[in-house]
Amino acid sequence: MKGFPRTKDESAGLLPHHPAFDGVLIFGTLVLALSLGALASVSSTALLVVVLVDIWLFANPHVVATFTRITSSAADVRRHRFLIFGLPALVLAGVVLVALAYEVAGLFTLYFIAQCYHVTRQSFGIARSYRRASGTPFATDGSADALIYMVPAWGVLARCAQAPREFLGYPIGLPVVSTGFVDAVGLVTIACGAWWLQRRFRAAMTGTLDWRHDTFVASHVCVSLAAYVWIADITLGWLVLNIWHNAQYLLFVWVQNIRRVQQDEGNASAGAKFTDLRRNAVRYGGVCLLVGAALFQILDWMGSQLLWLGLPTVLIAHFTLNFHHYLVDGVIWKRRSAVRARPWPTGAKQTPLDTHGKIN
């Protein structure tokens, strides 16, 4: 990809032989989120429009993308039958209990904090995938890992200290946190960021900089700071982070599905043709878009039919789907890939991106 520093292996990346994909995943999603966030800040009408765009084009499809990992075959359905059929009932029970105990404010408080953790774990997993793709599957970068967690933690604490009363037009009740504690966490986070930048500078001087991994970590830091610290409005900040997360997740699951097919066919090291990738992307995007829209409408209808219970049943239905998605991700991305147990094709480069991954 012209304009980026060279690495030891130009075929390295989440989609080997297609380095432009990494540019889209890292820079494209960041530009998209910040641009739509800027548009949403113009007026309350613009904010509503961008929220709807996010829900229909990114949020609903990104939830469906999870199920492409666990329902692609009858064997997958059997292997994950508890996640598909049993876990939703448990999640529903938990959400109802939260609604009974803390009402709507409790649901939105739980969602806000859980989403932060969910997005952070996704970034942690993608960063690890980039390190494996560089040819050093067991390499660690403690300062980068710490930064991935510390920036969102600082941001959420800053939101708590801000004490917003409304989120997405609904009440929210974040825990009370002192500004002094937030400032202390911020100073530690800034120190960690300075240490990480110093190490990246040294890597650049020695020619060992991994632009994919390092720019991804930088994009995570940027969007987290924007969502939680720089943007004063909690809803607008959430929207920027949510668009970034949803778009990135859709891309990452798509490329993982492609890699799985290649590995099943014994062709893990070969680069897919652009026409095949485009055809696959259209099919994958279409399924996620249509099924996501149908699922949203079904949940909305089911919730509206149960309003007589005196509970926010529409919200309960949608939060159940969201929290179920979080938990499913927490399981499937931690499991070793079955491919790891099978012999790799002779001469194939072993870069199993989804083994030990922790995208959730």
pLDDT in tens, 122-139: 999 999 888 888 765 445
pLDDT of the residue at 185: 97
Q: Point out the least confidently predicted range of 14-18, 112-116, 128-132, 287-291.
A: 14-18
Domain boundaries, position 39: 20-341
**Closest to 5 in 3D by CA, of 148, 196, 213:** 213
8 Å CB contact between 160 and 181: no
Within 8 A by CB and 6+ apart from 99, the residues are 106, 107, 311, 312, 315, 316
Confidence grade of residue 331 (pLDDT, cut at 50, 70, 90): confident
Mean pLDDT over the full length of the chain:
85
- CA terminus-to-terminus distance, the chain: 29
* Residue 352 scores a pLDDT above 50: no
CA atoms of 218 and 197, how far apart (whole Å): 10
Into how many domains does the chain fold?
A: 1
Structure tokens at 103: 């009402």
Find the DSSP H helices in the chain. Answer: 20-23, 29-40, 44-53, 60-67, 74-79, 81, 87-133, 142-162, 179-205, 211-225, 234-264, 274-305, 313-332
| pLDDT (0 to 100) of residue 235 | 97
Burial 2-16 (b: 16+ CB within 10 A, else e): eeeeebeeebbbbbb
- Give the pLDDT confidence score for residue 317 in this predicted structure: 96
State yes or no: pLDDT of 109 exceeds 70.
Answer: yes
Q: What is the pLDDT of residue 288?
A: 95
**If you count them, how many residues does the chain have?**
360
Domain assignment present for residue 356? The answer is: no
Residue 155 located in a structural domain: yes
The percent of residues in the chain predicted with pLDDT above 70, rounded, is 84
Residue 15 lies in a domain: no
Taking a C-beta distance cutoff of 8 angstroms, is the pair 357, 339 a contact? no
> Confidence band (pLDDT; 50, 70, 90) for 342?
very low
pLDDT of 325 higher than 70: yes
Residue 208: its pLDDT value, please? 80
Surface-to-core class of residue 315, CB atoms within 10 Å of its CB (0-12 exposed, 13-18 middle, 19+ buried): middle
Q: Is 10 a member of any domain?
A: no
In a domain, 239, yes or no: yes
Residue 220 pLDDT exceeds 50: yes
316-321 mean pLDDT: 96
CA distances from 158 to 92, 235, 275, 297 (A): 30, 14, 46, 35
What is the per-residue pLDDT for 267? Answer: 55
261 Cβ contact partners less than 8 Å away, ≥ 6 residues apart: none
pLDDT of residue 265: 59
Tokens of 349: 């480069």
- Confidence (pTM): 0.86
Residue 102 lies in a domain: yes
pLDDT band at 178 (very low <50, low <70, confident <90, very high): very high
Whether residue 355 is contained in a domain is answered as no
pLDDT in tens, 79-94: 889 999 999 999 999 9
Q: Contact at 8 Å (CB) between 246 and 122? A: no
Percent of all residues in the chain with a pLDDT value above 90, rounded to a whole number = 65
Asked if 183 and 165 touch (Cβ cutoff 8 Å), the reply is no
Give yes or no for residue 268 having a pLDDT over 60: no
Q: What is the pLDDT of residue 11?
A: 53
Q: Assess whether pLDDT exceeds 50 at residue 177.
A: yes
User: What confidence score (pLDDT) does residue 337 get?
Assistant: 42
**Residue owning tokens 């999640």:** 91
The position carrying tokens 């499937």 is 332
**What's the confidence (pLDDT) of residue 141?**
77
Task: Give the pLDDT of residue 276.
Answer: 77
356 falls in which pLDDT band (50, 70, 90)? very low
Residues with Cβ within 8 Å of 208's Cβ and at least 6 positions away in sequence, in order, are none
What is the structure's pLDDT at 354? Answer: 36
Identify the residue with better confidence: 281 or 271. Answer: 281
Higher pLDDT, 6 or 360: 6
Question: In Å, how far are 48, 197, 253 from 63, measured between CA atoms?
Answer: 21, 34, 11
Confidence of residue 57 (pLDDT cuts 50, 70, 90): very high
Q: What is the pLDDT of residue 162?
A: 95
The predicted pLDDT at position 136 comes to 58
pLDDT recorded at residue 332: 82
Q: Nearest 5°: CA angle at 205, between 1 and 190? A: 95
Closest Cα partner for 351 from 7, 122, 11? 11
| Selected residue with higher pLDDT from 227 and 260 | 227
Domain annotation covers residue 218: yes
